[in-house]
Structure formats: structure tokens, C-alpha cells
Amino acid sequence: MSFLEYAPAPESTAILNLKAEYGLFIDGEFVDGRGEVFDTISPATEEVIARIAQADAADVDRAVAAARRAYETVWSRMSGSDRGKYLFRIARLVQERARELAVAESLDNGKPIRETRDVDVPLVAAWFFYYAGWADKLEYAGLGPNPRALGVAAQVIPWNFPLLMLAWKIAPALAAGNTVVIKPAETTSLTAMLFAEILQQADLPAGVVNIVTGPGSTGQALVTHDDVNKVAFTGSTNVGRMIARQVAGTPKKLTLELGGKAANIVFDDAAIDQAVEGIVNGIFFNQGHVCCAGSRLLVQESVHDEVVDKLKHRLSTLRLGDPLDKNTDIGAINSAAQLERIRTLSDTGENEGAERWQLDCTVPDKGFWFRPTIFTRVSAAHTIAREEIFGPVLSVLTFRTPDEAVAKANNTPYGLSAGIWTEKASRMLAIADRLRAGVVWANTFNKFDPSSPFGGYKESGYGREGGRQGLAAYLESNGWEAPSLSAGASAPSRSEKKSRKAVAK
């Protein structure tokens, strides 16, 4: 046996104390759903982990009513500092139960324990810590004096970072003074249920956070509910479009964090070895199930061969397999449906003339797996260079000049993220200026921080999560007007102004 076939190093599941079945979390308690109970499985083994309740429209109604009640009677009347203390409590509880949450997430989502342990869960705690401190400082958030909470926030999150996306949504909403009804993705409800237990341990007032599990129809019932004031969604651009339509004409405030097709641009003067690491991290982190994944590698022609050679060499050290093994780099694809999509798009890539290279590794018999894949000879017209694959598939394109790199990078309806690799600072800054993307990573990739706003241009959605901007998405501004000018203009009445702002993007 070779050394590189590291002996199995599985993280123990003994730390988990899962229930066989989880109800909906409404008004501080686990309750039965009215829809049909469904299984949540491990995508690595296809074994059932637990049974999850399904919320129908009536359950959603109950959850929204609980959130409204909690908003009116408790949360909106509580001091900011007390709201903050609850969020600090939650952050600490997440840290205390970090390993348990990491194991549960890897089991349910299929992502490697190395990532849940070192990235997802630490960031969850960081997110609550960051926003906890905002709760009693809202007047400094840049929205003018006395910004107000919106009310009840309806939040729908994806399966790629289940607990982290929950934290991105819940932490700023509660800090700003809103109450929440959140729907986890159908295939990844488990850590949300553990999070509900954490809320009980934190003694968070009943109804401040409600969790309704179920399929897309549950989410639809939630975002279309008449009594929600805010809708926040992370997921595909198609569903985002649908939600934008459903929210149109209502006073609900909307933020959308949608798909991407990020360009990762490597110039010939780049620190090549670190660029290779960044490319790997950009597209193979979390099996490529990342909306901001660097799925289009734009490499300067003069270093194309070197970069691709080094990339393949580096990929050969990636280890695919059991998500709970501490040495696993590539875990399972989250679902059979997603695997099918990745396969179909990869086949399309090959059929359209791109050259496929795949990591030579064994794939477990059971579960959903896709070997890390690189397509070379990809041109901008290929389907795989345009559509979001949301899997471990990299398309390699070339460019000759900085202008060409920018033009190709921006040539997409998406605009979430981008990467730049160059040792030349002036060029980096100029390129960053011209990239139409909400997050630009220069000489790094896929870095996240609660203080750093995240979100897209164009069809990657609108609004930001993280930082002051992420807080503003859950507040109503009292405006910054030019006082001496207001009189001269035909100013609308105060009530008109209020209705106007409630629908701001």
C-alpha cells in the first residue's frame, strides 16, 4: 500500500444524537407537519438518516402567524442589546456543538468533514457573532437615524451550505429586529433541526425563528404569504426569477443571491503555484456546489500549458470518497438529480468539442459521485462555458490581452464573483474595477467573512449578505434627504414615502 493511500481516518458519528424523525419548528416547539413526512438521506451511502416533516400551506400560515405574534409582542419591543445577547448566545452554542454540527452536515449534505469542520461551522459561529454586535447599533448602519425592522422575514435557502446559509439569513434578520420563517432545502434539513435545538438551549423567545421543512411548494407558500414583509432567497436564477415575479407589485422587500459563472483570470506573471491552488479551491471546493465557484478558468495563452499541467498534477492528489473521512477532499454530489445535471452538461461539453480530462480515481459503489473534471479547448460559445454546472467541472479558456480577459469574463448574464491572478498590483486594481461582479478575489478565491458583503450583479441577483450592507437588507431606511430642497420639490406625504421605500429593491 502506498503512503498516499492514507489509511482511513473517519470522524466518529458517536457525537450525534439524532432523532428518527423531526417535526417543524414553530413557535418554539417541534410540531407535526400536515404534509407527507419524507426521508433525508446521506448522498454518500443513500441510507436514510432521519425522517423530516413536510409543511403545507396551512403549516406555513401557522409559522408566519407565530413569527408575526413574536414580532409584535416580543422581538420588536426588546432592546437591541438584549437581541444581541441572544445572538451571542447562539454563536457560543454553535461553537460548543461545532463538531456535532460538522458531522451532521457532512452526513446529510455529502461535503467533506474537513470543510464542514474548518469552514462551514466556524463561519456560522462568526456570522452570529458579527451580527450580534450590530443589534444595538442600528443607528450606525448607514441608513440614517432610527432605522426600523421590516417585520416578518421569509427566507428560503439552498442545499450547498445548509447551516451556513441559514446563518447568513437568520443572523442579520434577528439583529435588525425582524422575526423569521425559514425553509431549508429539501435534501438538507438536518442541521436546521439541530439549530432549532440550539435555539431552545439559547432560550430564544418562541416564534422569533420558525423552521418549516419541505419541498419547493413549501417555499412558494412562504414567499407568497401575504403577511411577510421581507423575502430573502438563495438558490438558482430560475427560481429567483420566479420569486421576483411573485413579489412584484407587493410591498415586500426582496434580496436574491442566485447563480454564477465566475471567471478566474490567470495572467502570465501570476504566482502560478498559488494560482493553481486558487483554481482548485475555486472549482473543487464543496464539489463545485458553490454559486461563486470559479468555473471558467481564463488563462493567458502563454502560460496555458504550464497551468493546465500543474493543475492536473495537483488534482491527482485530491481524494474522493467518504465525506466523514478527515482526508477526503471531494465528497458526494448532493443528490441524484444534481448528479444527472452535471453528467448531462459534461456530456454536452464533450459533444460540442471540448476535451475532457477526469481524475483517475475509484468511485464508491453507492451514493452520488462525480470525478473532478477539466475541460480544455473550451470556447466562449460552448454550453459549459455559459451554463452554471454547479459541480466539480472546470472549463478552461484562453485570452491574449487584459482587454480580452475582461471582455470574456463579463460576457455572461451572471455577475456574482471573479478571480484575478497577477503579481502586478496596478493591473489587478484596474481589472477589478472593470469586472462586473459583486465579489472579486485577487490572488485568492472563495473567501468569506461576515464583515464582507457578498452578492451579485445582473442575473446573479440583488442585495448583499454580510457586512453593513447585509444588515441594511433587513432594515427600513428613514432616508437621507436634502432638507432645503425637499420644500421646493413637490414632496409626497410621509405615508407615501413610507410605501415607496418599502418596495425598494
What amino acid positions are annotated as catalytic residues?
257, 291
Q: How far is the CB of 444 from other proteins (least distance, A)?
A: 5
Q: What distance in Å separates the CA atoms of residue 111 and residue 105, rounded to the nearest whole number? A: 8
Q: What is the DSSP annotation of 318-332?
A: --BS-TTBTT-SB--
Between 53 and 167, name the residue whose CB sits nearer to other proteins.
167
Q: How far is the CB of 228 from other proteins (least distance, A)?
A: 18
Q: What distance in Å separates the CA atoms of residue 335 and residue 333, rounded to the nearest whole number? A: 6
Between 379 and 486, name the residue whose CB sits nearer to other proteins.
486
152, 99, 140: which is closest to 121 by C-alpha?
Answer: 99
Q: How far is the CB of 225 from other proteins (least distance, A)?
A: 18
Q: How far is the CB of 9 from other proteins (least distance, A)?
A: 4
- For residues 132 and 140, is the Cβ–Cβ distance under 8 A? no
Cell of 135: 443589534
Q: How far is the CB of 36 from other proteins (least distance, A)?
A: 31
Between 152 and 439, name the residue whose CB sits nearer to other proteins.
439
Between 200 and 444, name the residue whose CB sits nearer to other proteins.
444
Specify the length of the chain in residues: 505
Between 55 and 107, name the residue whose CB sits nearer to other proteins.
107
Between 341 and 436, name the residue whose CB sits nearer to other proteins.
436
Q: What distance in Å separates the CA atoms of residue 265 and residue 442, rounded to the nearest whole number? A: 9
Partnered with residue 469 across adjacent β-strands are none
Between 17 and 484, name the residue whose CB sits nearer to other proteins.
484
Q: How far is the CB of 94 from other proteins (least distance, A)?
A: 16
Between 214 and 467, name the residue whose CB sits nearer to other proteins.
467
201, 206, 145, 153: which is closest to 177 by C-alpha?
Answer: 153
Q: How far is the CB of 19 from other proteins (least distance, A)?
A: 29
Cell of 280: 482548485
Q: How far is the CB of 417 from other proteins (least distance, A)?
A: 9
**Interacting residues of 18 by C-beta distance below 8 A, sequence separation 6+:** 49, 50, 104, 190
Q: What are phi and psi of 371, to 5 degrees?
A: -70, 140
Question: Where would I find the H helices in 316-424?
Answer: 336-351, 402-410
Between 22 and 462, name the residue whose CB sits nearer to other proteins.
462
Q: What is the DSSP annotation of 52-86?
A: E----HHHHHHHHHHHHHHIIIIITTS-HHHHHHH
Distances in Å between the Cα of 487 and the Cα atoms of 291, 349, 501 are 46, 61, 19
- For residues 83 and 135, is the Cβ–Cβ distance under 8 A? yes
Q: How far is the CB of 137 from other proteins (least distance, A)?
A: 14
Neighbours of 344 (CB within 10 A): 12
Give 119's DSSP letter.
Answer: I
For 209-303, strand residue ranges (E) read 209-211, 230-234, 253-257, 263-266, 296-300
Q: How far is the CB of 40 from other proteins (least distance, A)?
A: 27
Q: What distance in Å separates the CA atoms of residue 478 and residue 70, rounded to the nearest whole number? A: 24
**Interacting residues of 75 by C-beta distance below 8 A, sequence separation 6+:** 83, 174, 177, 178, 179, 205, 208
Neighbours of 27 (CB within 10 A): 18
Between 362 and 484, name the residue whose CB sits nearer to other proteins.
484
Distances in Å between the Cα of 255 and the Cα atoms of 89, 230, 244, 292, 482 are 27, 8, 9, 17, 27
Q: What distance in Å separates the CA atoms of residue 127 and residue 454, rounded to the nearest whole number? A: 13
